[in-house]
Structure 1
Amino acid sequence: MPRTIAFTKGHGTGNDFVIVADPDAEIDLTEDQVAVLCDRRFGIGADGILRVVRSARTAEGAATPAAEWFMDYRNADGTKAEMCGNGVRVFVRYLLKAGLATLAPGESLAIGTRAGVKTVTLSEDGFEVDLGLWRREPDVLVRARGLDVARPGQGIDVGNPHVVVALGSLAELEALDLLAQPILDPVPPHGANVEFVVPSDPLVRGAVGSVRMRVFERGVGETLSCGTGVAAAALAVRYWAGDGAPDRWSVEVPGGTLGVRVRRDADGEHVLLSGPASLVFSGEFSLA
């Protein structure tokens, strides 16, 4: 017999999600069910699903006991993902709206993810999430429809894998056809999101660097925004710029603008992502 389940639709700079509250881990969504719900013609339509579950109620959440809530994030094709920078901000927005958590300006909330515990702070422009330590990965050769030749891509890990490709002009960025998945050589062990970036000219204004970006997300396709991809893009351009590059960045994506900053802690460089998160509407669906 079909089961009726409540949901809320939310987005962060156009990167949209179906949010399902399941505090006691009673809903087991299959990959096929997630894919149907995320289908933009036959389902609700989204880039992914955020299942809101108490960490203590799931085996994966048990690895993040410092966080009361665990973000079970699934890509639009149903596959599991380690983290989502836009998704975690939308996740916290939902917790506050639903009365499941409280957060005053400047305070932080711990959220469990498959990439560990992430702290989210209420900020002037929405929420800022500490994505944690980042690291460079090996270069990857990237072929994409609309590029005349393969381009080198910088591997960046911010809790999930990314490959960042620098382009020479906005015209080249706009000419990309991201309906086709870019081809990576070699293919990273767990795949990767691929970001195509064009640094601004001048690159830095008022001690803030800026770039424009488009992204192809693994398991989804092109999206209007990718939070961890924005962080990876800023980190790659900062690395390419060399000594003296700023620690603050503004990244423009088709869905809006997000902020990135690098903070030096005792354990190394942390990358932080800031931006808005919105809840759009709520409803119900029947789960066969």
Structure 2
Amino acid sequence: MKQTLAFTKMQGLGNDFVMLDAVRQPVDLSPERVRALADRHFGIGCDQLLVVEPSDTPGVDFRYRIFNADGGEVEQCGNGARCFARFVFEQGLTDKREIRVETAKGLITPRLEDDGTVTVDMGVPVLTPAEVPFVSDSDAYVQPLDVAGRTVAITAVSMGNPHAVQVVADVDTAPVAETGPLIEHHPRFPARVNAGFLQVVDAHRVRLRVFERGAGETLACGTGACAAVVAGILRELVVSPVTVETRGGELTIAWDGVGTPVMMTGPAVTVFSGEIALP
């Protein structure tokens, strides 16, 4: 017997998602089913699959679950958070323009702006290596990482999910496809990691490519943009607010420094809706 799922395809700067409403329909997922939905030839196709669930926590509107295209569940997704906020509003699941959403790593607060963009309070970045998690004897913000016989300088940041940000001269020629998988699976990142490649244009503008854990390189990564700006500010290379140029478009990231939350503003677009039958 086949289950029919109603879904909505959305994208934030080309980072694309399959949205599933688990408030008004039963959603039974397995890693195999996630991979089938995410498959770009035989399924709907997406970088991540996002599930909206009711929250049992007082004062919290929804629970937000995120699955990568490889079927693994992860903690956070910034571009997905913006799409999440637009989705629940457009679907009539809430009439609030600002909501409180429970994720695997804590609460986020997306707000639908009048111009159609979405601003998300992404929380306070985690910089303590053991909490990223990143294996290190030092708390320094810039640390060496041996990758393919050479040493790169990275900043380890968690935005609810782990990131390793390195500064490069030119993102167009950066070895993202070659070293991205090596960094993702590096033994010093026990939960794997998103590998960010950051080019500083000026004090308020950067360019970014991200090789995402479980998804490969995507056109944009919201948490990656947040982590990159945090790394750039800690290294005194940029000053808030910062425009982050990705291959899918631009995000605005603001951060006032250690101990304060990161604010992310950018687009969220509905592409199409439909139904799909799965075994």
**TM-score interval w.r.t. the shorter chain?**
0.7 to 0.9
Deviation at 1:34, TM superposition (A): 0.1
1:90 aligns with 83
Distance (whole Å) between structure 2 residues aligned to residue 117 and residue 7 of structure 1: 24
Instruction: Give yes or no for contact 2:124–2:259 (8 Å, CA) kept in 1.
Output: yes
1:215-230 paired onto structure 2 within 5 Å: 215-230=210-225
Instruction: Return the TM-score normalized by structure 2.
Output: 0.87
Alignment of 1:237-248 (within 5 A): 237-241=232-236, 245-248=238-241
- 1:111 paired residue among 101, 105, 113: 101
Is 1:140–1:186's contact at 8 Å kept on the other side of the alignment? no
Shift of 1:150: 3.8
SS of residue in 1 equivalent to 2:74:
coil
Please say which of residues 271-280 and 133-142 is displaced more in the overlay. 133-142
Task: Tell me if the contact between 2:176 and 2:197 (Cα under 8 Å) persists in the aligned partners.
Answer: no
* 1:107-186 map, 5 Å: 108-123=98-113, 124=115, 126-136=117-127, 137=129, 139=143, 141=145, 143=147, 149-173=150-174, 176-177=176-177, 181-183=181-183, 185-186=186-187
Change (3 A) 1:253 1:278: same
Q: Residue 125 and residue 4 in structure 1: after superposition, are their counterparts in 2 closer, same or farther (change >3 A)?
A: closer
Three-state SS of the structure 2 residue aligned to 1:155 is: strand
2:188 corresponding residue in structure 1: 187
Cα RMSD for the two superposed structures: 2.2
Structure 1 residue 180, shift from structure 2 partner:
6.2
Give the 5 Å matches for 1:255-266.
Answer: 255-263=248-256
Note the C-alpha offset of 1:45.
0.5
CA displacement, residues 113-144 of structure 1 (integer Å, 9 cap, x when unaligned): 11111111223460111111113235351637
Is 1:22 matched up with 2:22? Answer: yes
* Residue of structure 2 equivalent to 1:281: 272
CA distance in 2, matches of 1:193, 1:111: 23
Q: Separation in 2 of the partners of 1:53 and 1:25?
A: 10
The equivalent of 1:48 in structure 2 is 48
Other-structure match for 2:140: none
State the 1:272 CA deviation: 1.0
C-alpha displacement of 1:22: 1.1
Q: What does residue 214 of structure 1 align with? A: 209
Alignment-mate amino acid for residue 205 of structure 2: S
1:5 is displaced (CA, Å) by 1.1
Please state whether the residue corresponding to 2:36 is helix, strand or coil: helix
Cα gap change, 1:76 to 1:182, in 2 (>3 Å): same
Structure 2 CA distance for aligned equivalents of residues 142 and 28 of structure 1: 41
Task: Measure the CA separation in 1 of the matches of 2:186 and 2:30.
Answer: 31
Letter in 2 for 1:5: L
Aligned residues: 264
Counterparts of 1:89 and 1:219, CA distance in 2 = 20
Paired amino acid for 1:36 = A
Deviations 1:139-169 (A, max 9, x none): 351637xxx9441211011111100011123
Residue matched to 1:59: none
Q: Against the structure 1 CA distance between its residues 228 and 170, is the aligned structure 2 distance closer, same or farther, given a 3 Å change threshold?
A: closer
The alpha-carbon distance between structure 1 residues 55 and 199, as it changes in their structure 2 partners (threshold 3 A), is same
- Structure 1 residue runs of 4 or more that deviate by more than 4 Å after TM superposition: none
Partner-residue secondary structure (3-state), 1:70: strand
List gaps (5 residues or longer) in structure 1: 57-63
1:231 pairs with one of 226, 241, 249? 226
- The CA distance in 2 between the partners of 1:129 and 1:281, in whole Å, is 23
C-alpha distance in 1 between matches for 2:52 and 2:269: 16
- Of 38, 63, 71 in structure 1, the residue corresponding to residue 64 of structure 2 is 71
Percent identity between the two aligned chains: 36
Gaps of 5+ in 2: 130-135, 137-142
